[in-house]
Every structure is written in C-alpha cells, then in structure tokens.
Structure 1
Amino acid sequence: MLIYKEFTFDSAHFLPNVPDGHKCKEMHGHTYRLRIWIKGQPDPQLGWVMDFAVLKSVVKPVVAELDHKCMNYVAGLENPTCELIAVWIWDRLKPLLPAMDHLELHETPTSGVVYNGN
C-alpha cells in the first residue's frame, strides 16, 4: 500500500548553466508542491501505514530549509533544477523515512519530477 502527504513551499532560483537569453537564467520563483510517498502495510492495531502527523514532523524541517529561500545559495544547490532539488530532498529524507518509496516535486502545476533514489 502507498500513502502520501503533500507539502508546498515557495522558493526562488536561477539556472546559471542554461544558454544566455533563456528565461530561467534570470532569478524567478515558484510555488513548489512536494508529495512524499510511503510504502507499507497498515499496522494491524492502528490501521495505518504511518501516522501522517509523524510524517509531517519529519518532512517539515527539510521543507523549511528551502521555503522562502534562494535555492542557489542553499546547501550547495548551485544549479537548482527541479531534478536536482528532488535529489537534494531525497538525500535528506530517506535516512529519516526508510519506507519512503518515491517523491514527486512539481515546479509548476504542469511540470515536475518523480524520484525514487535511482
């Protein structure tokens, strides 16, 4: 069974490695939507895979590292593409959430990435 919890955060970034004239080379911001997926079986007594409150307490501090920040200056994200931000989040959460199956990071309502550590 897979459960998920969704989080949002607002961050700015610019992509220094894109060609001159590309709109993403300039500083701009997004409201990111992060969805964390946990895999497991419901506990026979409690009836849930994981307490959503516990999941929130683990993820919120990591999200806070990015929220209302310029991601180019956060923890070495010099080229903070959606893909590399997803890896950065995964690397922080996976040790704390071993049952995390994958994450989704949406940079816009129609663009994003799914990452499972591979």
Structure 2
Amino acid sequence: MKVKVSRKEHFNAAHRLYNPEWSDDQNAKVFGKCSNPNYHGHNYEVIVSVTGEPDPRTGYVFDMKLLSDLIRENVLSKLDHKNLNLDTEFFKNLNPTAENIAVVIWRILRQKIDSDLELKITLYETERNFVEYPAS
C-alpha cells in the first residue's frame, strides 16, 4: 500500500536564461524576454512529494514536519530572494530554467531522504507553467 505525501512551499528568485556561447541576438531569439541582461523574477511554488509505505509504528510515510524543515534548511535558504545566476553555486554554470531548478532541488533533497522512498519535485514557475522531476 503506497501513499504519497506532499509539502508545498514558496520562494521568490530572479534569473536570466541565456547561453554564454551565444550572441545577445541568439539568446533573445531562443529565450525571449527571459534573456533580459538585467534579469527578471518569479514567485515559485514547489511541491515536494514523497511516496512509500506508511511505517506501521507511526502511520507516516514521512514526517511532514521533518520534510518542511528539510525543504526550508536545504532549498529555501539557498534559493529564496536570490539571483539564481549570481547568488547560488548551483547555477554558476547551469542555465536556471524551471527544468534545471527542479532537478537541482531533487538532487539536494534526494541526499536527505531514504532511497527506499520515491521523491518527486513539482515546480511552478507561473500559475500555468510547471515542471515535474522525475517525469512519469
């Protein structure tokens, strides 16, 4: 009997989408206004889902307070109110697309959550645009 539990959190961050090997014109063609050299920001919503069998002693798949603390300490503290390109090591050499942000969050949390449990990240960049990692 597998059960999925999820925690939703929020963070604000600025970024610029661009490939440093391309000209400004090529970046503008591919990334549009998201390649603005002065950056732009988003109000991100992240949903962290953990799937597994409930522990027979506690009834928990994963302690939600612990999940909240892990997200706050390991993700939000590093991404919230940051310029992802300039203020984080994660995106020094990685384009901070929604796809890459979701993968980075997954990699951070995967180290902290038992590998017997499935982990999924859903990241909303806007109300209408979101990504999931891993994809299913």
Report 1:84-99 matches (<5 A).
84-97=100-113, 98=115, 99=117
2: CA distance, partners of 1:57 / 1:117: 25
Count of residue pairs the alignment pairs up:
118
Which aligned runs of 4 or more in structure 1 are off by greater than 4 angstroms?
Answer: none
Deviation (angstroms), 1:47: 1.7
Kept in 2, the 8 Å contact 1:11–1:68? The answer is yes
2: CA distance, partners of 1:45 / 1:86: 32
Kindly indicate which of the two structures has a greater share of residues assigned to helix.
2
> Residues 65-95 of structure 1, C-alpha deviation per residue, up to 9 Å, x if partnerless?
0000000121141410001111111111101
1: CA distance, partners of 2:10 / 2:131: 15
Question: Mind listing any 5+ residue stretches in structure 2 that lack a counterpart?
Answer: 20-25
Query: Rg bigger for which structure?
Result: 2
What TM-score results when the alignment is normalised by the length of structure 2? 0.79
Look up the SS of the partner of 2:125 in the other structure: strand
Q: Calculate the aligned-residue CA RMSD, in Å.
A: 1.8
Aligned to 2:27: 19
- Matched letter for residue 24 of structure 1: C
Look up the SS of the partner of 2:68 in the other structure: helix
Same amino acid, percent of matched pairs: 34
- Matched letter for residue 32 of structure 1: Y
Aligned to 1:63: 76
Question: Mind listing any 5+ residue stretches in structure 1 that lack a counterpart?
Answer: none
1:112 aligns with 2:130: yes
2: CA distance, partners of 1:77 / 1:117: 21
Deviating more after overlay: 103-112 vs 72-81: 72-81
Kept in 2, the 8 Å contact 1:40–1:49? The answer is yes
1: CA distance, partners of 2:119 / 2:76: 18
What TM-score results when the alignment is normalised by the length of structure 1? 0.90
